[in-house]
Chains A and B, each alone.
Chain A
Amino acid sequence: MRVFSTDHKVIGVQYAVTAMVFLLIGFALMLVMRWQLAYPFQPVPLIGGLFGRDNAPGGVISPEFYNQLGAMHGTIMIFLGVVPLAVGGFGNYLIPLQIGASDMAFPRLNRLSYWLYASAGVVMLASFFVPGGAPDAGWTSYPPLSVITPVTGQTMWLIGMLLLATSAMFGSVNTIVTIIQLRAPGLTFMRLPFFIWAQLVTAFLLLLAFPPLEAAGLMQLMDRVLDTSFFLPSGLVVGNRPLAVAGEGNPLLWQHLFWFLAHPEVYVLILPAFGIVAEVLSANIRKPLWGYRLMVHSAVFLGFVSMLVWAHHMFLTGMGTTMSAFFQTTTMIVSIPSVIILSALFVSLYGGSIRFTTPNLFALAFLPMFGLGGLTGLPLGLAATDIPLHDTYYVIGHFHYVVAPGTLFALFAGVYHWFPKVTGRQMNDGLGRLHFWGSLIAMNVIFFPMFIQGLAGLNRRLADGGITYSWGQTLQHWNVVQGWAAWALGVVQVLFLVNLFVSWRRGRRAPDNPWEATTLEWQTSSPPRRHNFATAPAIARGPYEYSMPGAAADFSPQAVVVPAVAGIDERGTHPRIPFIADVRPDTRTNNVRLGMWLFIASEVMLFGGLFSAYVLLRTGGAHWGHEADFLSIGGGLGYAAILLIATLLLRSGNRRGLALAAVAGLVFLGLKAAGYTALIQQGVVPATSTFAALYYLLTAVHALHVLGGVLAFGHFAFHGTSATGGDQRRFDNVIQALRRYWYFVDLAWLLVFAAFYLL
C-alpha cells in the first residue's frame, strides 16, 4: 500500500484509519473531562501529571484546560473524526465500487483532499503543545472570546479549519463528478444504492456550506493576526478597559456564517449514516427497502431545506419574531424528510427475515437512538422552548444522541459490514456483540441523564459540573454515574480495537460476498483488485432485489458481468477514467466541465459569504466608507480592463493565448500589490476600519483567484497537450473549463468594484 497512492481504496482506508485515530483522541479528551465533572478539582488519577503544571497543577485540571478539552473534543469528533470517516472513509472506498467505476473521477485531487485533511488535523492537535495551549473558546469559536483569547491554539484552529474547508471542497467536487459521470452502463439514478444518494447529497452540502465558514475563518484570522474588528463591536470592554480596536464589527456575523455550515454539518453526519444503515439493513432483512424512491426524494429535499435553517441557532440573539418564525418553520419542515427516511427504514423491517449479525445489531439500534436524538431536537427548533433550553445539558444530550448512538452506531455497522470486503477477513462476532451491547448500555447511561440535567437548568461548559450552584449540587450524582459509564464505554472500545487489528491480521477468511448482498461491491474480489473489476459490470436491476419470486437464490445481484474490459487498465498505474475527453451521452457533459462548474458554485458561496459580511457590516456601521476616498474609480476600471483583456486572449484557446493571459494576470497582480502599498503608505491598513478590512480581504481573495488562474494558464501554456497525456480533446476541455473560471473571476471583480468603488 503506497502512502501517496491515488487509488480510491487506499485513500479510503487512509481516511478511515486517520479518522478513527482522531476519534480515539477526541474520545480520550472526553474521558478526562468526565473525571473533572464527576470529581471536580480532584487530581486525575494516574495520568494527571502528564498534562503539565500549567494545565493541571498537582494533577488537578484547571478551568482553562477544561475549556481547551471541551473545544478540542467537539472539534476533533465532528470535523476530524465522524465526518471524515463517514464521507472520506466510507465514501472514497465504496462510491467507485458501488457504481462500477475503476476509481474516482479525479484521483490526484482525491489524494490532495486526504493530505489537506490530515494536515488540518495535525495543525489542530499541535495546538496542545504551543504556548497558551489549545483553543479554549468552544468548538463553535464564538467571538468576542475567540478573538481576544490570547492562546495561539485558536489561530491554529482557524488555519486547520481553512485546510479542512479546502479539503472538503475538493472532495465534494470529486464525489459529485464521480457519481454523476462514472456510473456503469445501465446504472440509472433510480438504480443507485441509497448509500450513493446519501453521499451525493452530502457532497453538495459540503460543497455549498463550507465556503461561507471559510470566509468567516479568514475574517477571524484577520481579527486575531491583523487587529481588524470584523467581530468586535465598538465600545467593547475587556478587563475593565475599552478594547483598542477600530470596532464597528459584529459578533453575530460569526454566528451567522458559522451556523451556515454547522447546521448542514448535522446532515453531513446523518445522511451517510442513513446510507450505511440502509445498506446493512437491506442485506440483513433479506427484502427490498420499503419506499426507496420516497427515501431518495426525502434525502434530496433534506439537502435543500437543511441549508435554510441555520439561523435557528441564533434565536437567543433577539433577532425578532418575523425572522424567528421563518427559521422555526424551515426547521420543522426539515424534520419531515428525516422522519420519512427513518420511518421507511423501520417499515422495511416488517416481514423481513432478520439476521441479527453484529453489523445489523448496530444498524437496528441506530433507528431508535437516532429517533430519540431527532425528536429531542424539535423543542430546540422552536424559539419559545429553545430559549430556556439553550446552553443547557439538554442540548448536549440531544446532539450526542444524534452523533454517538446515532451516527457512530451507523459507522460501526459499516465497519463490521464492509470489513470483509476491505481485508478479505471476518471480524470476530463474539467480540462484536460484546462491543455492541456494552456501547449501547454505556452510551444511554451517559447521554440520557443529560436530558434530566438540562431540564433542571444545568448549564453546559461549566468546569466544575455545576456544583457552584445549588441546583447543580442536586444533580452532581448524575455526573458521577455518567463518568463511570464513560470509562466503561472506553473499555468496550478497547474490545473493538482488538477485534479490528487482530481480525485484520488473523481473522477468518471471508468469501467475496459473505452477506449475500446485491450491490456491486460484493461482485468483485475481497479485497477488490486494482481498478476494482476484472470485467466491466453492466447493471441489470435495482440495488435491493432480495427474495424475488422465482429467483434461484434469495438475492439477485445488480450486475450482469459482460466480457468487455472497457475502461480497465490492468497494467497501467492509473485507471482509465471515462468522459474526461468525451461527453457522457446521458448527462451531456464531461468530467472537467462539470468539475469546474461545481468548483465555481463553491466559489460563489465563498464570495457570497464575504458579500453577506459586507452587507451586514455596512448596514450596521455608523462610520462606513471614509477610506473610499483613497480608491480611484479609474484604477478600479483599469483592473477590470486587464481582466477583460485576459478573457479575450483566452478565447483563442491556444498556448500563445494562454501565455499572454497569464502575463495579463501577472500585470493585474503587480498593480494590485502597488495599489496595496500606496494605501498602506496613506495610512489605510486592515485595522483602520471594517471598510478597509473588508476591502483588503475581498480584493485579496479575488487576487488569489487571479493567481490560481495565472498558475493554471502558465502550466498549460508551458506544457501544452503533454499536460493532458497528448490528448488534444482533453486539452481543449481544460481550456474551456479555465475560460469559464476566468469569467467568474471577471464577474467577481465587477462586484468588488461596485461594492467598494461605486456604492
Chain B
Amino acid sequence: MAARIRGVLSAVGRLKRASTAWVARGVQTVGCTVCFQNVESPLLDSARVGVLSMAILVVIVLGTFGAWFRRLGQLEQEHQATAGSGMVQPRPGDPPPNHQSPRGYGQ
C-alpha cells in the first residue's frame, strides 16, 4: 500500500514538473469566446439558426421517404391483390403460415 502511495505521489510530482514545463513553453493555451458560455454571442445565435435549417431539411427528406415507404406498402398490397400475391403455398400437410393471422405475425 505504502509503495503504491509512493508511486502515485511520484507520478504526481512528475506530472507537476511536466505541466510546469509545458505551460512555461507558452503554447496551446486557447481562449475561445464560445467556450466561455456567452449565451448572447452571435456565434450561438447563428448555431441555433444552423441547427434549425438542418432540422427543416431533415424533416422534408424524412417526410419524402416516409411517403415513399407508404407507397411501397400500397404497391405491394395492390400487387398481391392482382397477381395472387405470387406466393407459394405450403405443401400438403404443412401447417398454415402464421403470418396469415389477422393481427399479424407472431402476435
Contact = CB atoms under 8 A, between A and B. Distances in A.
Interface in A596-613: 601, 604-605, 608-609, 611-613
Give the most central of A204, A308, A545, A551: most B CB within 10 Å. A545
Given A292-B106, A542-B105, A549 B95 contact: yes
18 contacts: A39-B7, A41-B11, A204-B65, A208-B61, A236-B32, A250-B43, A293-B107, A304-B62, A308-B58, A318-B37, A464-B12, A538-B87, A542-B99, A542-B106, A601-B65, A604-B57, A604-B61, A619-B42
A326 to B, nearest CB: 8
Contacts of B20: none
B62 A611 contact: no
B75 A239 contact: no
Contacts of A240: 26, 29
A29 B64 CA distance: 43
A612 B57 contact: yes
Nearest to B83: A585
B51 A548 contact: no
A541 B97 contact: yes
A698 B50 CA distance: 16
B contacts with A: majority SS: helix
A253 B39 contact: no
A77 to B, nearest CB: 27
Given A41-B15, A545-B97, A235 B51 contact: no
A362 to B, nearest CB: 23
Give the most central of B38, B53, B76, B91: most A CB within 10 Å. B53
Contacts of A565: none
Q: Bin chain B's interface residue count.
A: 35 or more
Contacts of B97: 540-542, 545
B37 to A, nearest CB: 5
Given A253-B47, A560-B88, A320 B99 contact: no
Contact of B89 (A307, A540, A618): A540
B50 A253 contact: yes
A548 B32 CA distance: 65
Interface string A314-327: 10011110010000
B7 A609 contact: no
B18 interface: yes
B2 interface: no
Interface string B9-22: 00110111011000
Contact of A473 (B8, B14, B94, B107): B8
Interface string B66-78: 1001001101101
Contacts of B14: 41
Interface string A697-737: 00000000000000000000000000000000000000000
Nearest to A476: B8
B50 A615 contact: yes
Contacts of A293: 104-107
Contacts of A612: 50, 53-54, 57
B99 to A, nearest CB: 4
A260 B106 contact: no
A540 B87 contact: yes
Given A238-B29, A292-B107, A586-B78, 11 more contacts: A41-B14, A236-B30, A237-B30, A239-B29, A288-B98, A318-B38, A319-B48, A473-B8, A545-B98, A619-B50, A620-B46
A225 to B, nearest CB: 20
A100 to B, nearest CB: 11
A96 interface: no
Contact of B106 (A145, A304, A544): A544
B12 A239 contact: no
Contacts of A317: 34, 44, 47
A311 B47 CA distance: 10
A588 B106 contact: no
A320 B51 CA distance: 12
